[in-house]
């Protein structure tokens, strides 16, 4: 592919020189019209919001393109050290409004569209989300890309260009239905296909060994089925700084030589079918969050990402430095976003040895000095393990290498703990108990110079529990990087009214230095400011209510406390605890215990993995309880429960500005960090939460008086497990007993007998890993304190302001600066433009 000459003459340099595109209104209008009329072929008869969106998108992209190239040139000339972020997921959401914000053309574009009789908001809303991720982990990667560009760091994101992203969630008769998300059906104006950066990825076959003339063993991976990885680049603009970094996503295509033999031998249809098979690799995102999947196709995806990205980096290297790898580790760093891409450890070894002729020792030194691993979960069911026989079949050469890595590693372990067979067995990359499996997290730890968790508690629990052996072997490898979110999307972009108020008081520096929000503290005592703050929250609540009203057709009392829990549906996140509280409130209203009742609108949203039956049943329960409660005259104006269908990034942009209360109620020790908690805090929601993940750090920043802490701590949970008797707790607690009785009576499933039996049983099981019943009393009592606080609106507003004033730590710039100082060690490289 790369060797083919497509051009007969060399284009003159000047072909690439274009006058710079202006940022004035007239420039935008002129460019927009050209795209709308000429490229997209629109006229008076064919007005169309989507095409207008495309025309504006292309207009904006042109402005990015110039800066993008300049960024590329800047990095290339500097021959700087770079970081490559390897992630199976990027939950980017929409791009247009973010690109305009970062270019600083929001107002101009608004006026330009207005002059043309177009509502900019309508165009923005017509963009489909790029939903190439499941939840927190994928969104983290997107926030990181944004912050790296804003901090002017040479970081390139690598991922997969799934044809189908995260499914669209429909609710039918209260149940989740999954609709495939064919997001690329319409043109994606943000991506550029780059055929010149294509790489061949091998699967199957076998390893051949021979000894070369120097007596060295050389390995060949032969008789493989090859697939082509083709690059699609998306620009990642920094905030008003001319830096535009790259997110490179790989698409699988059939290789050119694809099964030529079969074509010639008459098996034409089979050959074409195989071609489709090759493209399957990047067809769909696996919709599992915090759960491994174990399917062969998933392993193919992981290897495809690792191999394409590493080949890309190495071929760039060879282009600049030839076959000399002496400085490779000094100039390159790979950050593995969870264990998903950890096969990269073995793949880098393979490429350096088999393709570039390095000896094991040198290749291993380079690998161990370039790889860094981020762990995202303590749930054992989420840690990937691949059967050795599958790895053997699909990636035979990599399996050889993993065995060799393991053998050398285990001799290091044996040297540290002589004669200790159990420690060898525990730490081995290959789990030999039962069907042999490769423990991918261990491969990542052994092959990396840095291992980090994503919040202080999480990193500490990794060191004490899951990875304790590795921690005692290599304590210096371990570190913490508490997650963060980008203030552009999660405050400046999604909450323009609040952003304006803040800027009016303290200036606009907070957009790139969120710690400056501390200057809001004195305003908490300013009554006029509080009034303004409340009005803005009220506008956002109206907007959220209107947006959801179309779907639910029920009247929402915007004076009610908006109580929000949006995140993936998972037992550990305990949406069930939230529902138990709603049922408790419902019973209070039914008993006419409604004096002093603080009106609440409880909003719950999130997707369940399609194969996770219990999570889907939780969605059904929420909807059934909602139906029963919302139609009851006794609850009118006082209590509403709504399930927000199809929770995604652009939904969250509407939800967080309107939230009063942020529900972060996972079983302590189970939520690695959480980032939804940070987005909601950033928009002035007060948290009710357990002592878990980044909640702990939020509490530390904002102070006890501005946070509703409840429930068992991680230590208490562990101790309690030994003698946990939920049935006993239920019998001792009148409120809980009534809630459970109502549930068990079938009150919420009168025409669907027994459908919630499994959920109810799971709560009452002494082995319930999530111990929901144990935290009920503390949760309900703390919710009563929430009511008290909300009744005093001045007090509540103060708390809300204090939350925003103390959210600075949770900017992803803070996180990225820490990654850079401790792990990446990149030079900030400003881009000169214009
Ligand atoms: C932030 C975000 C998440 C993560 O939420 P948690 O509450 O941290 O689990 C998941 N999905 C979307 C769409 C998000 O924006």
* Domains in the chain: boundaries: 21-78+94-128, 132-482, 488-711+748-756+772-810
How many angstroms separate the CA atoms of 298 and 280, rounded? 11
What pLDDT, on the 0 to 100 scale, is given for residue 18? 75
Q: Which of 25, 82, 350, 376 is catalytic?
A: 376
pLDDT at 271 over 80: no
User: Catalytic residue among 82, 139, 458, 567, which?
Assistant: 567
Of 196, 131, 124, the closest CA to residue 164 belongs to 131
pTM score > 0.95 for this model?
Answer: yes
In angstroms, the Cα distances linking 312 to 198, 231, 348, 627 are 8, 9, 11, 53
Beta bridge partners of 90: 132
What number does the ligand 1 atom closest to the CA of 679 have? 1
- CATH topology match: 132-482 vs 488-711+748-756+772-810: yes
Average pLDDT over residues 581-598: 92
- Tell me how far apart the alpha carbons of residues 280 and 489 are, in angstroms, rounded to a whole number: 33
The CATH class for the domain spanning 132-482 reads: alpha beta
- How far, in Å, from the CA of 675 to the mean position of ligand 1? 6
β-pairing, 225-237 vs 244-254, is antiparallel
| CB of 238 sitting under 6 A from ligand 1 | no
Q: pLDDT tens, 121-141?
A: 999 999 999 999 999 999 999
Q: How far apart are CA 621 and CA 615, in angstroms?
A: 10
Cα of 391 vs centre of ligand 1, distance in Å, is 32
Mean pLDDT of 517-539: 98
Any idea which residue has 């006419």 for tokens?
592
| Structure-model confidence comparison of residues 593 and 784, the more confident one | 784
Spatial separation of the C-alpha atoms in residues 107 and 96, rounded to whole Å = 13
Q: Residue 352: pLDDT band by 50, 70, 90 thresholds? A: very high
378 against 101, higher pLDDT: 101
Of all residues in the chain, what percent carry a pLDDT higher than 90?
A: 88
Q: What percent of the chain is modeled with pLDDT above 70?
A: 96
Cβ atoms within 10 Å, residue 22: 13
DSSP 601: E
The β-bridge relationship of strands 90-93 and 130-132 is antiparallel
Which tens digits make up the pLDDT trace of 457-488? 999 999 999 999 999 999 999 999 999 999 99
Residue 628 confidence (pLDDT): 97
Tokens linked to 216: 């060295």
pLDDT computed for residue 3 by the predictor = 46
- Start-to-end CA distance of the chain, whole Å, equals 36
- Give residue 107's Cα distance to chain centre: 29
What's the 380 CA to ligand 1 centre distance in angstroms? 21
Mean per-residue pLDDT for 213-239?
94
Residue 454 CA to ligand 1 center (angstroms) comes to 14
CA–centroid distance for 829 within its chain: 26
Evaluate whether 824 touches 481 at the Cβ level (below 8 Å). Answer: no
Give the per-residue pLDDT at 2.
42
Distance 642 CA to ligand 1 centre (A): 18
pLDDT value of position 277: 80
Has 782 been annotated as catalytic? no
Q: Is 214 tagged catalytic?
A: no
Average pLDDT over residues 612-640: 97
Shortest CA distance to 336 belongs to which of 141, 130, 146? 141
Site of tokens 């760039």: 316
When pLDDT is averaged across residues 80-93 and rounded to a whole number, the result is 98
pLDDT over 90 at 185, yes or no: yes
What's the CA-to-centroid distance between 648 and ligand 1, angstroms?
8
Residue 4: pLDDT band with limits 50, 70, 90: very low
Mean pLDDT confidence for 529-557: 89
Report whether pLDDT(625) > 80: yes
C-alpha 173/C-alpha 124 separation (Å) is 31
63, 537, 541, 679: the active-site residue: 679
More confident residue, 43 or 202: 202
Task: Place 174 in a pLDDT band, splitting at 50, 70 and 90.
Answer: very high
Q: Active site includes 573?
A: yes
CB atoms < 10 A from the CB of 409, how many?
A: 20
Mean pLDDT, range 568-572, rounded to an integer: 98
Instruction: Identify the CA nearest to 801 among candidates 734, 703, 718.
Output: 703
Q: Ligand 1, closest atom to CA 674? A: 8
User: Which mutation among 136, 572, 574 tests ligand 1's pocket best, with the greatest number of atoms within 8 A of CB?
Assistant: 136
pLDDT score recorded for residue 8: 58
What is the rounded average pLDDT of the residues 523-536?
Answer: 98
Give mean pLDDT, residues 408-423: 97
Categorize the per-residue pLDDT at 19 as very low, low, confident or very high, splitting at 50, 70 and 90: confident
Distance CA 661, CA 776 (A): 18
Lookup: tokens for 397: 């050469």
Active site residue 679: yes
Query: What is the overall mean pLDDT for the chain?
Result: 94
* Token output for 298: 């998933």
Residues with Cβ within 8 Å of 564's Cβ and at least 6 positions away in sequence, in order, are: 603, 655, 656, 659, 660, 661, 662, 663, 680, 685
Could you tell me the two tokens for 33?
């019209």
The dihedral over CA atoms of 432, 437, 441, 444, expressed in degrees to the nearest 10, equals 90
Does any ligand 1 atom lie closer than 6 A to the CB of residue 649?
A: yes
- Half-sphere exposure of residue 190: CA atoms within 13 angstroms, side-chain side: 27
Angle at CA of residue 552, ends 549 and 558, nearest 5°: 45
Q: What is the dihedral of CA 663, 664, 667, 673, to 10 degrees?
A: 170
pLDDT at 348 over 80: yes
- Asked if residue 217 has pLDDT above 60, the reply is yes
Matching residue, tokens 């071609």 = 275
Active site residue 376: yes
User: Would you call 728 a catalytic residue per the annotation?
Assistant: no
- Architecture of the 488-711+748-756+772-810 domain: 3-Layer(aba) Sandwich (3.40)
Atom of ligand 1 nearest to the CA of 91: 13
């Amino acid at each position: 592919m790369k060797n083919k000459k497509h051009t007969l003459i060399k284009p003159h340099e000047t072909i690439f020189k274009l006058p710079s595109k202006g940022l004035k209104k007239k420039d935008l209008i002129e460019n927009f019209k050209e795209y709308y009329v000429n490229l997209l072929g629109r006229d008076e008869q064919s007005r169309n919001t989507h095409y207008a969106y495309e025309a504006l998108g292309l207009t904006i992209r042109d402005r990015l393109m110039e800066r993008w190239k300049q960024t590329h040139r800047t990095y290339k000339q500097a021959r700087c050290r770079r970081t490559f972020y390897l992630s199976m997921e990027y939950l980017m959401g929409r791009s247009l409004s973010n690109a305009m914000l970062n270019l600083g053309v929001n107002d101009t574009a608004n006026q330009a569209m207005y002059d043309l009789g177009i509502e900019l908001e309508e165009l923005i809303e017509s963009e489909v989300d790029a939903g190439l991720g499941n939840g927190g982990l994928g969104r983290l990667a997107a926030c990181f890309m944004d912050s790296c560009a804003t901090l002017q760091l040479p970081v390139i994101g690598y991922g997969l260009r799934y044809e189908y992203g995260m499914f669209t969630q429909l609710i039918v008769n209260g149940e989740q239905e999954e609709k495939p998300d064919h997001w690329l059906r319409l043109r994606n104006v943000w991506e550029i296909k780059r055929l010149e950066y294509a790489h061949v990825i091998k699967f199957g076959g076998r390893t051949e060994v021979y000894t070369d003339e120097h007596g060295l063993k050389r390995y060949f991976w032969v008789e493989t089925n090859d697939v082509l990885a083709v690059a699609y680049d998306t620009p990642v603009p920094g905030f008003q700084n001319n830096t535009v970094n790259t997110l490179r996503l790989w698409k699988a295509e059939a290789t050119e030589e694809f099964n030529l033999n079969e074509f010639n031998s008459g098996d034409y249809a089979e050959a074409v079918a195989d071609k489709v098979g090759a493209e399957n690799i990047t067809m769909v995102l696996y919709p599992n969050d915090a759960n491994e999947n174990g399917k062969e196709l998933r392993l193919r995806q992981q290897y495809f990402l690792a191999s394409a990205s590493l080949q890309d980096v190495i071929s760039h290297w060879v282009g600049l430095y030839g076959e000399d790898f002496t400085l490779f580790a000094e100039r390159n760093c790979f950050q593995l976003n969870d264990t998903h891409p950890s096969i990269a450890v073995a793949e880098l070894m393979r490429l350096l040895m088999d393709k570039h002729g390095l000896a094991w020792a040198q290749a291993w030194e380079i690998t161990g000095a370039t790889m860094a691993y981020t762990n995202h979960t303590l749930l054992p069911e989420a840690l990937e393990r691949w059967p050795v026989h599958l790895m053997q079949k699909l990636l035979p050469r990599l399996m050889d290498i993993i065995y060799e890595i393991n053998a050398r590693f285990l001799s290091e372990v044996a040297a540290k703990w002589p004669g200790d067979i159990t420690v060898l067995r525990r730490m081995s990359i290959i789990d030999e108990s039962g069907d042999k499996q490769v423990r991918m997290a261990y491969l990542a730890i052994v092959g990396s110079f840095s291992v980090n968790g994503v919040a202080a508690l999480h990193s500490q629990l990794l060191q004490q529990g899951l990875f304790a052996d590795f921690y005692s072997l290599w304590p210096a490898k371990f570190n913490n990087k508490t997650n963060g979110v980008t203030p552009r999307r999660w405050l400046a972009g999604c909450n323009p009214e609040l952003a304006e108020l803040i800027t009016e008081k303290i200036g606009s520096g907070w957009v790139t230095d969120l710690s400056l929000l501390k200057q809001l503290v004195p305003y908490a005592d300013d009554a006029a400011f509080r009034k303004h703050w409340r009005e803005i929250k009220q506008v956002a609540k109206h907007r959220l209510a209107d947006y959801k009203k179309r779907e639910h057709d029920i009247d929402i009392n915007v004076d009610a406390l908006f109580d929000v829990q949006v995140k993936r549906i998972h037992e550990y996140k305990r949406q069930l605890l939230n529902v138990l509280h709603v049922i408790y409130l419902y019973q209070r209203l039914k008993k006419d215990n409604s004096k002093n009742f603080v009106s609440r609108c409880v909003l719950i949203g999130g997707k369940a993995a399609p194969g996770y039956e219990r999570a889907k049943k939780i969605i059904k329960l929420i909807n059934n309880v909602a139906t029963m409660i919302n139609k009851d005259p006794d609850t009118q104006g006082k209590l509403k429960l709504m399930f927000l269908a199809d929770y995604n990034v652009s939904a969250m942009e509407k939800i967080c500005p309107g939230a009063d209360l942020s529900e972060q109620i996972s079983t302590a020790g189970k939520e690695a960090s959480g980032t939804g908690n940070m987005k909601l805090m950033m928009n002035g929601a007060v948290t009710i939460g357990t002592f878990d993940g980044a909640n702990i750090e939020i509490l530390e920043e904002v102070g006890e008086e501005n946070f509703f802490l409840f429930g068992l701590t991680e230590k208490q949970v562990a101790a309690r497990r030994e003698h946990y008797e939920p049935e006993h707790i239920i019998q001792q607690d009148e409120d809980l007993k009534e809630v459970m009785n109502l549930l068990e009576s079938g009150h919420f499933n009168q025409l669907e007998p027994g459908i919630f039996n499994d959920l109810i049983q799971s709560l009452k099981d002494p082995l319930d890993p999530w111990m929901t019943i144990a935290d009920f009393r503390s949760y309900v009592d703390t919710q009563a304190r929430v009511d008290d606080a909300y009744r005093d609106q001045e007090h509540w507003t103060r708390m809300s302001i204090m939350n925003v004033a103390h959210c600075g730590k949770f900017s992803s710039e803070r996180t990225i600066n820490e990654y850079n100082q401790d792990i990446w060690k990149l030079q900030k490289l400003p881009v000169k433009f214009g």
